[in-house]
Amino acid sequence: MGIDILQGIISIIIILGLSPLFAGLVNKQKAILTGRIGAPILQPYYDLQKIFKKETINATSSSFISRISPLINLVTLVIAAAMLPVGFWKPLISFSGDIILFAYILGLARFFQILAAMDIGSSFEGMGAAREATFALFAEPIFFFTIGSISFISGFTSLFDIYHSIELTNISYGVFIIICSISVFMLAVSECSRMPVDDPNTHLELTMIHEVMILDNSGIDLFLYQYSSYIKLFIYAILEISFFYPFSQQSYLLGILIFITGSAALTFVLGVVETIISRSKMKNIPQYLLFATAIGILNLLIYTFTK
Amino acid sequence: MENVLSILFCLSLFYVIVTSRVKAYVTVLQIQGVLLSVLLIIQVIHNFSVYGIILPITLLLVKVILIPRYINKVISELEIKRRIEPTIQQMILLPIVIVTMITIFIVSSILSKNTAMDVIPFASGFSSIVVGIYIIMFRKKLIVHVCGFLILENGIFLFGTAVASELPMLIELGVLLDVFVVVFLMGITLNRISSTFKGFEVSHLGRLKD
């Protein structure tokens, strides 16, 4: 029992500590693939340190919501991070039905971010909030259809148990997992505002979704937002990597090894995807998200009729 | 294993619905051809016969090499633009397809209680037929209509393998020949149309008079 809690705490610390590194690795890969040298891998840490030192200024028209929203954002993401397994370690929070909590705790973070963006009263950020809400509407079914179909297949409703029941030796099970991982990848791309949905680098008002919402924040507030967006990316990366653990053999060393190689492979995949794909038009994004939902529905259908 | 191939087949259908380039249609046709030939080869491995090998090889030759090459040739010769030009918004078609697929899966599972058949290949073949019809209905370009017809034909093929485990080989070969001739005729027709009208859209044909 004690060891379980200790392992859970260690995995949270790993997630919180390594998440900026993950973002840095993705940016570095992207830079190398496009023929640039790129910022150092540790650049996100430097950025966070720089933002942390700056003074926090709030808009005069803003209410208490803009002040509590960054904190709520970080706290909810830390709770979400506590539900994911690192290696074969049991996460700190794990009970049957925690996939629903996982989805809605991320939803809460997004809700407060949208509220805070509208609270400032800039029409600019209202536009970003509207976009975020619209695309979130299409992104939610992806999570429920894919994770829901895996939970049907495995018969568990807790993230750790679901991943625990995966056996890659069964070929049709393997296909389910691969299809699910495609759709989770598309979800991750949209939730973390990466390339085909949103461009993390641009500051052009017409194109951005996530970046525009935090435009009026500075200092500690910006630090919290930025850090939680790094954590969010890493959370989705872990959600994706966990499909590929061979949970039938339990060995801690193998788990950690797969965690590291999986993260590295995922940064490479993200880098390649962001290099070869350009940001799609705003009107095409719902279609992109619906495609991922369709994959989830197909998975569910096929499982229901082969049982 | 047949189920796995059918899932991949359904994924290719989703892709063909969301894509907006003519070249992607040709690629999807090639992928579907490969999937169907692998399906047949698996059946041959289970009960080996010399005549059984001829069909997958012919399928591979016609559907993966000859027809896509011919369509590509037509596209480059007639300088067809790469956008597909849908008549309704792309965004609307995908939900329609999802709902259709769900209905088909439910119907085929009800049907399978009385008849002996594999639900998944049957349902994916059936949805491929419907998707082919949708493509012919909701796209303007004639070359895309040809691709839609071929997707429909692939669906019939998958449908056939699901219902009867072995169709007479001669019939299958005859169907393949028919399809090839149809595509050939379509190409010639497109050439004729291009020499009379500018553009290759169905909307032009509405204005035909005696």
- Nearest residue of A to residue B107 by CA position? A305
Q: Where are the domains of chain B?
A: 2-203
Q: Which pLDDT score, from 0 to 100, does residue B210 have?
A: 58
Q: Which pLDDT score, from 0 to 100, does residue A205 have?
A: 65
Task: Assess contact for A83 and A12: CB atoms under 8 A.
Answer: no
Q: Which pLDDT score, from 0 to 100, does residue A169 have?
A: 65
Q: Across the A/B interface, how many CB contacts are shorter than 8 Å?
A: 58
Q: Which pLDDT score, from 0 to 100, does residue B99 have?
A: 92
Flag if B102 and A298 touch (Cβ within 8 Å): no
Flag if A291 and B97 touch (Cβ within 8 Å): no
Q: Which domain holds residue A63?
A: 2-306
Which residue among B4, B97, B109 sits closest to A171, beta carbon to beta carbon?
A: B4
Which residue among A283, A287, A297 sits closest to B98, beta carbon to beta carbon?
A: A297
* C-alpha pair distances (Å), B138 with each of A115, B13, B34, B69: 40, 15, 26, 25
Among B183, B101, B182, B169, residue whose Cα is nearest residue B134: B101
Look up residue A172 and give its two tokens.
Answer: 């049709």
Which residue among A290, A297, A302 sits closest to B3, beta carbon to beta carbon?
A: A302
More confident residue, B76 or A200: B76
CB-based contact, A302 to chain B, within 8 Å: yes
Residue B166 pLDDT exceeds 60: no
- Does this model's pTM top 0.90? no
Q: CB B112: neighbour CB atoms within 10 A?
A: 16
Residues of chain A with pLDDT under 70: 1, 167-172, 203-207, 246-250, 307
For this complex, say whether ipTM is above 0.85.
no
- Nearest residue of A to residue B104 by CA position? A301
What is the distance in angstroms between the Cα of B210 and the nearest Cα belonging to chain A? 42
Q: How far apart are CA A126 and CA A134, in angstroms?
A: 12
| SS3 (DSSP) at A134 | helix
Q: Which pLDDT score, from 0 to 100, does residue B168 have?
A: 66
What is the distance in angstroms between the Cα of B30 and the nearest Cα belonging to chain A? 21
CB-based contact, A123 to chain B, within 8 Å: no
- Mean pLDDT for B143-168 is 79
Q: How far apart are CA A165 and CA A153, in angstroms?
A: 9
| Bridge partners, B141 (sequence order) | B201
Q: How far apart are CA B134 and CA B56, in angstroms?
A: 28
Q: Which pLDDT score, from 0 to 100, does residue A307 have?
A: 66
Flag if B14 and A294 touch (Cβ within 8 Å): yes
Task: Assess contact for A275 and A33: CB atoms under 8 A.
Answer: yes
- Mean pLDDT for B61-77 is 87
Q: Which pLDDT score, from 0 to 100, does residue B30 have?
A: 93
| SS3 (DSSP) at B48 | coil
Q: How far apart are CA B127 and CA A107, in angstroms?
A: 35
Among A237, A77, A212, residue whose Cα is nearest residue A132: A212
| SS3 (DSSP) at B197 | coil
pLDDT tens for B108-148 read 888 888 877 778 888 888 999 999 999 988 888 888 888 88
Candidates B12, B105, B131, partner chain A, best to mutate (most A CBs within 10 A): B105
Task: Assess contact for B124 and B158: CB atoms under 8 A.
Answer: yes
Residue B165 pLDDT exceeds 60: no
CB-based contact, A178 to chain B, within 8 Å: no
Number of compact structural domains in chain A: 1
Task: Assess contact for B123 and B111: CB atoms under 8 A.
Answer: no
CB-based contact, B110 to chain A, within 8 Å: no
**Which chain A residues touch B16 with a CB distance below 8 Å?**
none
CB-based contact, B10 to chain A, within 8 Å: yes
Which residue shows structure tokens 């998958």? Answer: B158
CB-based contact, A60 to chain B, within 8 Å: no
Q: Fill in the DSSP letter of residue A57.
A: -
- Nearest residue of B to residue A302 by CA position? B120
Q: How far apart are CA A109 and CA A225, in angstroms?
A: 10
Amino acid (1-letter code) at residue B164: A
Lowest-confidence region among A108-112, B15-19, B159-163, B167-171: B167-171
CB-based contact, B7 to chain A, within 8 Å: yes
Q: How far apart are CA A78 and CA A83, in angstroms?
A: 9
- Mean pLDDT for B197-206 is 65
CB-based contact, B177 to chain A, within 8 Å: no
Flag if A297 and B105 touch (Cβ within 8 Å): no
Q: How far apart are CA A40 and CA A211, in angstroms?
A: 22
Flag if B3 and A172 touch (Cβ within 8 Å): yes
Lowest-confidence region among B16-25, B78-87, B100-109: B78-87
Task: Assess contact for A51 and A219: CB atoms under 8 A.
Answer: yes
CB-based contact, A290 to chain B, within 8 Å: yes
Which residue among B7, B95, B109 sits closest to A298, beta carbon to beta carbon?
A: B7
